[in-house]
Each structure stands twice: as structure tokens, then as C-alpha cells.
Amino acid sequence: MADHYEVLGVGREATTDEIKKAYRRLARELHPDVNPGADASERFKLVTHAYDVLSDPQQRQQYDLGPQAGFGGGGGANFGGFGDIFETFFGGGTSRGPRSRRERGQDALVRVEVDLDEIIFGTTRDVEVDTAVLCETCNGSCCAPGTQPVTCDICRGSGQIQRAVRSLLGNVMTSSPCGTCRGYGTVIPNPCPTCQGQGRVRARRTIPVDIPAGVDTGLRLQLPSQGEVGPAGGPNGDLYLEIKVRHHDVFSRNGDDLLATLEVQMTDAILGTRTTLKTLDGEVAVEIKPGTQSAEVITIKDRGVTRLRGNGRGDLKIGVQVTTPSKLSHKEQDLIKQFAGARRSAPPTLTHFQQGLFQKLRDRFLNI
């Protein structure tokens, strides 16, 4: 009896991959469809049998031990190795059976605009969505009332069509989805007139949404199972809400802090004063200390935006801008002159260039 290793042309230390590659090369060369000679046919049988033995670890071990281990080396080929060569030629192909008409629906994306004051504590919004909903006529069955799907006559309910394909290894059975039922195994002779056999229709529906405090522009909120219903009444996809915070004329946001600018008259900055300011969530008392300068920042704790992740709120930071009156009455001018005379201030002199108020405010806001 010929040695299996010699038949495949490999050494006894050959790996499983090397044995497989040798078999594939010889199988293509010796198959009767390619080489119809009698010698080639006999060699093909030997090659196949050798591969069946050496590709199985247990049989190979017994073969290497010799006849004393109880391995006779006889018997017909079990053709277990043909799965590998079929995969090489055809990429596999087992029947998967009919597929379901029910599929998951697509996700939906809706953009929602909210005001700055709404995100401090959160808000509730009714969102209108143009989406696919379950057909009420057929309740997702896709069939006209009183009817139901019937078994496909072509594939007999399997959803697959098997065909014999002639190849290098002879006739091979392959499977593909049935073209009549599109792989479902059933056909719908009487589709629902409302949804045309889809099990769903387009409709506009209103969804109440809780928008949490602290959201910001660009953030997306996920609402599971609030997207489109799937074909044939399949499970809903998800709904995503993309947040956009509208511009506010007074307040702006820096992280969890709110920023604003307070214009203070020169006399109030010199003498100091108290005032009440209207913020996004109520009034707050602010003290202007005597001698306050432009670009100073007044911080009011816990009057900013509620933190999205964590506890508490940010701060309200107010940048001071001291304003100088441009028009004065004669009496006001006299008073200012008296003030200037009493101060005996030095004449204006050149100093190092100072950055602008707004730049200083920006730097202070970011560094506080």
C-alpha cells in the first residue's frame, strides 16, 4: 500500500495546512472532469483517501504508529475532507431556511431647539416625528383582512431553491433564495390595501420628551424603541434627538457657567452701589464695591446651568464695564471739575499698551 505522505507529496512533519494545500493542488490536477484518464482516476482516489486519513488528527496518529496500533489503512474514503475543497471552489452554501418578514425598523434623528433658560432645570417638549407606524388595518400581517400568507409553490416553504451545478468535482448542489417568495417561504396573494403589503404606513406622531438639565448644542439623546416600526410590524428602531440651544441676547454659556456683562455708571463704580438683576431663574442682588474697575468679574455662586453629570449648578459670572458719560449738563461739568480739582491728579502719561476690555473680560472669565 502506498504511503499516504508520499501520495500527497509531503513529509511526515507536514502541518495540517500543508497537507490541505497539497490535497487541493492534486485534486484540481487529477479530478476526472479535468483529467479523464484511468490512471488519474485511481490516483485521485488514493489522494482523497490519503487526505481523509491525514487530515483527521486521531486517524493520522494511528497511521503514524503503524498496524500494531490497530490501524489497517483500508476501507473506503469517508469524504470528510470534501468540505474543505467545496469551500475552496464554492465558498460553502448550506440552506438557512425561510427568512422572517419582520425586521427591525430604522433609527430616526430629529433636531430640537431649546432656549437657554430651559436647560437650567430641564424641560418637557412634545416632539413631532414623521415616521413609519404599524398599519392598523392588518396589524402588521401585511395581508388583507380575512386572508393570510400561503406557502410558496416553488420552494414549498423552504425559502431556498436548490440547483445542481457541474464543477471540477462533479455535480454539486447549491442553494439560493427563492425568486418567487424572495426567501420568505410564503407569498401574500391578497396584500393589505392600506399598507400595500408592508405592514406599516407613514404617519406623523407626537412624542413627549423629557430634556434633562445641562444639555448643550450637539448633544444627542437616545429614546429606545421610539423610531420607525419595522416591516411586517417588526420591532421599532431608536429615536435620537439632537439638541440645539438658541442664542440668548444677554447670557452666554461657558461649560456650566453663565456669563453676562453689567454696565456700571462711573459714579456708581467710584462710590459703590447695590442693585437687583434679573437672571434666567429669578432676581439676584449684586453689590458694586467702591472703586470697582472695568473688567472685574462678580461671581454669584450656584446660579449657572445645572450640571448634566454630577450635582449642583455652575456659577453666574458678571463682567463689569464702567461707562463714562459722553454728554454732561453745565452743572454736572462743574461738579466733575470740582472733583478733579480736589483730586489733584497727575496729567495723563504714556504707559504700556493695554489690551481691550472685551479681551480682558474673556481672559478673566476663562481663568476664574
Binding residues for Zn(2+): 135, 138, 152, 155, 178, 181, 192, 195
Query: In this structure, are residues 183 and 172 in contact, taking their beta carbons and an 8 Å threshold?
Result: no
Which residues pair with residue 71 across a beta bridge? none
- Contacts of 138 by beta carbon, 8 Å cutoff, 6+ apart: 144, 145, 192, 194, 195, 199
As a whole number of angstroms, the distance between CA 93 and CA 166 comes to: 15
Q: Which residues are known binding-site members? A: 135, 138, 152, 155, 178, 181, 192, 195
Kindly state the DSSP code that residue 191 receives in the 8-state scheme.
B
State the distance between the two ends of the chain, measured CA to CA, in whole angstroms: 91
Question: What is the distance between the alpha carbons of residues 55 and 78, in angstroms, rounded to a whole number?
Answer: 12
**Cα radius of gyration (the chain):** 42
Residue closest to 110 by CA, chosen among 242, 244, 245: 242
Per DSSP, the residues of 283-336 read EEEEEE-TT--TT-EEEETT-SPBPSSSSSB--EEEEEEEE--S---HHHHHHH
* C-beta separation of 120 from 146 below 8 A: no
d(CA 262, CA 273): 13
Asked if 339 contacts 331 with a C-beta cutoff of 8 angstroms, the reply is: no
CA dist list (Å): 34 to 9, 27, 120: 20, 10, 79
Per the document, the length of the chain is: 368
**Is the CB of residue 304 less than 8 Å from the CB of residue 118?**
no
C-alpha span between 278 and 296 (Å, rounded): 20
Retrieve residue 56's grid coordinates.
483527521
